[in-house]
Amino acid sequence: MKTNYGWVIVAAGALMGCVSMGALFSLAVFLQPMAEATGWSRTGISSAMTVDFLAMGFAAFGWGALTDRFGPRPVVLAGSILMVLGLVLASRATSLLEFQIEYGVIIGIAAGAIIVPMMATTVGWFDKHRSIAVSLVSAGMGVAPMTMSPLASWLISIYDWRTALLTIAAVVAALVVPAALFVRRAPVVPGAAPGVAVAGDSGITVGQAFRSPQFLVLAATYFACCAMHSGPIFHTVSYAMACGIPPIVAVTIYSVEGFAGLVGRVGFGLAGDRFGAKPVLVVGLMIQALAAGAYFFTREVGEFYGVAFVFGMAYGGVMPLYSVIAREYFPMRIMGTIAGATSLVASLGMSLGPALGGWVFDHFGTYGWLYIGSFAVGLGATAIALAFPPFPSAGRRVVQTA
């Protein structure tokens, strides 16, 4: 029964992630029509996305702790309603600052209430098939730009940007809010109350977990991984255009990365269940680093597609494995807090790539050093991942503290 309903959790998480993250990423589609209609700068509008990532990372830590205390349903329901509110308010914004607060801060906080709690909740529902279950939830988030963005583009073609954004809010209200009602906390061991240490739970506190080698290695690997791939993700289209690729073709390179990410999430999830999450993560990080370095030598369209597929498959595939590894080390009663903390660290890493990539291009007139740097950071992430302590034996979670 536990596993059967676990797949309902997976379906709800995939749907919520797809629609909510799709709504967040649809800003790229709104950028040009908003700039033309309002006179706001593209830099100013785009900065709302940077605020989104930072707000999502910091908020995820708090939402994760609330998930541990009250369960996931009230958290994801609150986040769903908050996202609808943020989209409605953003569609009515009369100034750039107002839009940045409503789209960047409110929607970023709302996204943090959906993504991290659903990933943390999913791992608790599965003893077997845990990697593929988490990967399928992540895959829902991965298809977001390929589902909601086309919808946003179609809406803008027939309505003004405000009406289109308001319609996106209605879609979130119709799909994400009801899906949140299906979310349940994973069942606890019989005879134990929620939040109480049980057999196989060392009774570790959150503070002890944060000081443990397991968490420090997990957080450092996650940070380096995200810092490594965020620059190439954000700047590769511009790099392709600088290599003479037509803009309309260069954009499709990003689509190839997105599709490959879906393949990677499923493939790496299955491999994680078969061979273990840690070795699969190490291999994925190495592939990711090599693909980033390969961009340095890429010039032709076919080469870009090939490298983009490998790169997208690797970074899409490794991301869900961090939640799986965290569950192997830490008890479920603090999993929301652990997931929130690692998400915060990952968001800080993600925020570095776009800015540093722009600095590299402004100072050197080329993106070459961005890919060399990403390759080096990727190797560093792989080396850090090799330092993961062994998993505890079945039925035990004994975490060493520093």
Tokens of 177: 């809010």
Mean pLDDT of 7-30: 86
pLDDT confidence of 189, banded at 50, 70, 90? low
The full 3-state SS of the chain, as one line of letters, equals CHHHHHHHHHHHHHHHHHHHHHHHHCHHHHHHHHHHHHCCCHHHHHHHHHHHHHHHHHHHHHHHHHHHHHCHHHHHHHHHHHHHHHHHHHHCCCCHHHHHHHHHHHHHHHHHHHHHHHHHHHHHCCCCCHHHHHHHHHHHHHCHHHHHHHHHHHHHHHCCHHHHHHHHHHHHHHHHHHHHCCCCCCCCCCCCCCCCCCCCCCCCCHHHHHHCHHHHHHHHHHHHHHHHHHHHHHHHHHHHHHCCCCHHHHHHHHHHHHHHHHHHHHHHHHHHHHHCHHHHHHHHHHHHHHHHHHHHHCCCHHHHHHHHHHHHHHHHHHCCHHHHHHHHHCCHHHHHHHHHHHHHHHHHHHHHHHHHHHHHHHHHCCCHHHHHHHHHHHHHHHHHHCCCCCCCCCCCCCCCCC
Query: Does residue 188 have a pLDDT over 70?
Result: no
Averaged over 102-116, what is the pLDDT? Answer: 90
Question: Taking a C-beta distance cutoff of 8 angstroms, is the pair 134, 323 a contact?
Answer: yes
Percent of the chain with pLDDT over 90: 37
Alpha-carbon span 18 to 149, nearest angstrom = 11
CB 229 within 8 Å of CB 375:
no
Please tell me the distance from the alpha carbon of residue 334 to that of residue 110, in angstroms, as a whole number.
21
- CA 247, CA 225: separation in Å to the nearest integer? 28
Higher pLDDT, 2 or 75: 75
Asked if residues 23 and 111 have their Cβ atoms less than 8 Å apart, the reply is no
Q: Exposure string (b/e) for 119-134, b if CB count within 10 Å is 16 or more?
A: bbbbbbbbeebbbbbb
Tell me how far apart the alpha carbons of residues 49 and 42 are, in angstroms, rounded to a whole number: 11
Count of alpha carbons within 13 angstroms of residue 49, beta-carbon side: 20
Asked if pLDDT for residue 55 goes beyond 80, the answer is yes
282-293: per-residue pLDDT in tens? 999 999 999 999
What's the confidence (pLDDT) of residue 174?
96
Output the CATH code of domain 207-385: 1.20.1250.20
Q: Where are the domains of the chain?
A: 2-180, 207-385
- 43-54 confidence digits (pLDDT tens): 788 778 778 878
Distance CA(226)–CA(220), nearest Å, equals: 10
The mean predicted confidence, pLDDT, of the chain is: 85
Say if CB 83 and CB 111 are below 8 A apart. Answer: yes
User: Which residues, at least 6 apart from 279, have a Cβ–Cβ distance to it below 8 Å?
Assistant: none
Domain topology for 2-180: Growth Hormone; Chain: A; (1.20.1250)
Q: Return d(Cα 259, Cα 298) in angstroms, integer.
A: 20
> For 19, what's the count of Cα atoms within 13 Å in the CB-facing half-sphere?
25
Quote the pLDDT of residue 223. Answer: 95
Average pLDDT of the residues in 70-85: 94
Tracing tokens 């990727």 back to the chain, one arrives at 378
Average pLDDT over residues 300-310: 93
d(C-alpha 386, C-alpha 313), whole Å: 21
CB 176 within 8 A of CB 15: yes
Q: CA 326 to CA 281: how far, in whole Å?
A: 13
pLDDT at 87: 95
273 contacts 329 by C-beta, under 8 angstroms: no
d(CA 217, CA 387): 7
Distance CA 92, CA 146 (A): 26
Question: Does the fold of domain 207-385 match that of domain 2-180?
Answer: yes
Closest CA to 384 of 215, 206, 207: 215
pLDDT in tens, 151-166: 887 888 888 999 999 9
Higher pLDDT, 384 or 366: 384
